[in-house]
Amino acid sequence: MTDFTSNAASACRALRACRRPGRSGPTSMQLRGQQTLGSACVPLAQHSVRTVRALDEERMVEVEWEGGGHSLYPFTWLRDNCQCPLCTLDSAQARKLSMLDLDVHTGLDAVEVTNDNKVSVLWPDRHTSAFDADWLKRRCFSAAARRASREELFLNQRHYWDSELRVPTADFQEVLRDDRAALDWLLALRRVGVVHLTGAATERGAVARLAERVGYLRLTFYGHTWQVQDKPMANNVAYTSGKLGLHTDYPAMHFAPGVQFLHCISAAEEGGESEMVDGFHMAELLRREDPEAFRTLCSVHVDFTDTGTDYCDFMLQSKKKSIAEGRVVRINYNNATRDSGAGPPRAAGATLLPVHPGYVDVMNRRENVGDMLTFDNWRLLHGRRDYRSRADRARHLEGAYLDWDEVMSRLRILRSSVRGNA
Ligand code: OGA
Ligand code: NM2
Ligand code: ZN
Ligand code: ZN
């Protein structure tokens, strides 16, 4: 079994250890549309082809590599992925070859290694293709290579944690300024699910600035960014001074926001501390301890509802499984917006909670003013204690949502840029 705590702690150490002294960064205007500072890496050729041969029976090309080992590529796959200008729009790295023009039963007339270390194929219709050795190696079909490439692209391996977690921490300004710091932030956000950023100014705008560092934020009915304050005629339980039980945000949307930023601009006089739980770990414990309940949460749809006016008027309805998509990829749990709709689903949501592995207290004590929590809203459940503000200084958090596609996109760009510059 994984040692969650030490894994999380090492992610945490990695974040701290990887900081580099600051250098002056571009202004926000310069960053627009170009949020990664270094140039994308052009990897040096690493792999050389020793020999190639066509296995006509299997309809595969076998490539033997200089360093040992070999890879097999189906004829049809090679023809489908021809990189020549007729078949590929190079400037977009997009396929031009229509499936109507692809002969899925194609044979192959000749295959050879060229002087510049490409695998060149002559097809029966006289079309030729030339494949770069590194390009082919990265697309090796072996099970191990495919597993590695999937992990490289999607980073689905997580560190599960419990109340022992030392929440990874990074400096807000450094994340804005330095690509290595930004990459470490996003890697920990993906792996651990939460990163505590310190040192943002205590005014509105920080969450939007950070979202711009990634790409763009996710607009919802609560606005581009939203102010968590005790408001008269609150259109959401979050906008009161009451306790918020553990929840994920916005299950009333079928596509709930993947990532959430919460910036503490002003803390409560008393109470208001926030806490978080690892929902994936919780689901894993439930799978082991109460498989029947786990199956229920993976299969029964719960109704969510949210009605009101904010950015504009809204009347949302959704049906969501508490543990979405069979394997654990998304938790939907919000008692406030769970609908009153008839049927057994009402019981289902509640059974997730008794098994949680313990929460971490994350922020909103007085010393956390200026701090920001960035976390995985598909994975973590978060809540806050009820609070009392001083008459002249109300508690105020500013929040924003992003989606995982944009966050992972920035992570991949930063990774290739940082590697290229290393
Ligand atoms: C929310 C929320 C936490 C807090 O607004 O959805 O969870 O500390 N807020 O107020
Ligand atoms: N807020 C904080 O699902 C929810 O209602 C979460 C959303 C109001 C934007 C709260
Ligand atoms: Zn071609
Ligand atoms: Zn919330």
Check residue 41 and give its pLDDT: 46
Per-residue pLDDT of the chain in tens (422 residues, 90 and over written 9):
233 333 444 444 444 433 333 334 444 445 455 578 765 444 556 899 999 999 999 999 999 999 999 999 999 999 999 999 999 999 999 999 999 999 999 999 999 999 999 999 999 999 999 999 999 999 999 999 999 999 999 999 999 999 899 999 999 999 999 999 999 999 999 999 999 999 999 999 999 999 999 999 999 999 999 999 999 999 999 999 999 988 999 999 999 999 999 999 999 999 999 999 998 998 888 888 888 888 888 888 888 999 999 999 999 999 988 887 655 656 777 777 777 665 555 454 455 555 566 667 777 667 789 999 999 999 999 999 999 999 899 999 999 999 999 999 999 999 999 998 54
CA of 181 to the centre of ligand 1 (A): 26
Check residue 292 and give its pLDDT: 86
pTM of the model as a whole = 0.88
Shared domain for 363 and 226, answered yes or no, is: yes
Check residue 351 and give its pLDDT: 55
Ligand 1 pocket residue status of 220, Cβ below 6 Å? no
Check residue 282 and give its pLDDT: 87
Q: Which ligand is nearest to the CA of 102?
A: 3
Ligand 1 pocket residue status of 244, Cβ below 6 Å? yes
Shared domain for 60 and 117, answered yes or no, is: yes
Domain-embedded: residue 3:
no
In this structure, the residue with its CA closest to atom 7 of ligand 1 is 383
Q: State which H helix or E strand residue 64 sits in.
A: strand 60-65
Check residue 297 and give its pLDDT: 81
Domain that holds residue 173: 169-416
Q: Helices 404-421 and 179-191, interaxial angle, to 10°?
A: 130
DSSP of 6-54 = HHHHHHHHHHHHT-----PPPPHHHHTT----SPPP-PPP---EEEEEE
Shared domain for 106 and 184, answered yes or no, is: no
Last residue of a domain, one of 151, 179, 211: 151
Domain-embedded: residue 38:
no
CA distances, 91 to each of 31, 96, 259, 415 (Å): 23, 12, 31, 21
Helices (H) and strands (E) in the chain, counts: 12, 24
Placement of tokens 């920080």 in the chain: 206
Shared domain for 262 and 400, answered yes or no, is: yes
Domain holding 389: CATH number? 3.60.130.10
Q: Which ligand is nearest to the CA of 127?
A: 3
Name all contacts of 142-145 with Cβ < 8 Å and 24+ positions apart: 142/71, 145/71
Shared domain for 132 and 207, answered yes or no, is: no
Domain-embedded: residue 5:
no
Report residues whose beta carbon is within 6 angstroms of any ligand 2 atom.
222, 226, 228, 236, 238, 249-250, 252, 306, 334, 337, 399
Domain-embedded: residue 131:
yes
In this structure, the residue with its CA closest to atom 10 of ligand 2 is 249
Shared domain for 139 and 59, answered yes or no, is: yes
Shared domain for 99 and 219, answered yes or no, is: no
Last residue of a domain, one of 119, 151, 183: 151
Domain-embedded: residue 1:
no
Count of domains forming the chain: 2
Name the DSSP class of 393: B
Shared domain for 182 and 270, answered yes or no, is: yes
Q: Which ligand is nearest to the CA of 252?
A: 2
The values of phi and psi at residue 237, to 5°, are -60, -25
Domain-embedded: residue 42:
no
CA of 181 to the centre of ligand 4 (A): 26
CA of 342 to the centre of ligand 2 (A): 23
The values of phi and psi at residue 286, to 5°, are -65, -40
Q: Which two tokens stand for residue 128?
A: 């030729």
Last residue of a domain, one of 99, 121, 151: 151
Shared domain for 83 and 222, answered yes or no, is: no
Check residue 40 and give its pLDDT: 47
Shared domain for 267 and 293, answered yes or no, is: yes
Shared domain for 249 and 295, answered yes or no, is: yes
Q: Which ligand is nearest to the CA of 336?
A: 2
Domain-embedded: residue 355:
yes
Shared domain for 85 and 186, answered yes or no, is: no
Q: Which two tokens stand for residue 52?
A: 């190639």
- Dihedral of the alpha carbons of 89, 92, 93, 95, in degrees to the nearest 10: -50
- Cα–Cα distance, 377 to 401 (Å, whole number): 9
Surrounding residues of ion ligand 4, Cβ less than 5 A: 249
Q: State which H helix or E strand residue 330 sits in.
A: strand 330-331
Domain-embedded: residue 380:
yes
In ligand 1, the atom with minimum distance to the C-alpha of 228 is 5
Radius of gyration of the chain (CA): 25
Domain holding 94: CATH number? 3.30.2020.30
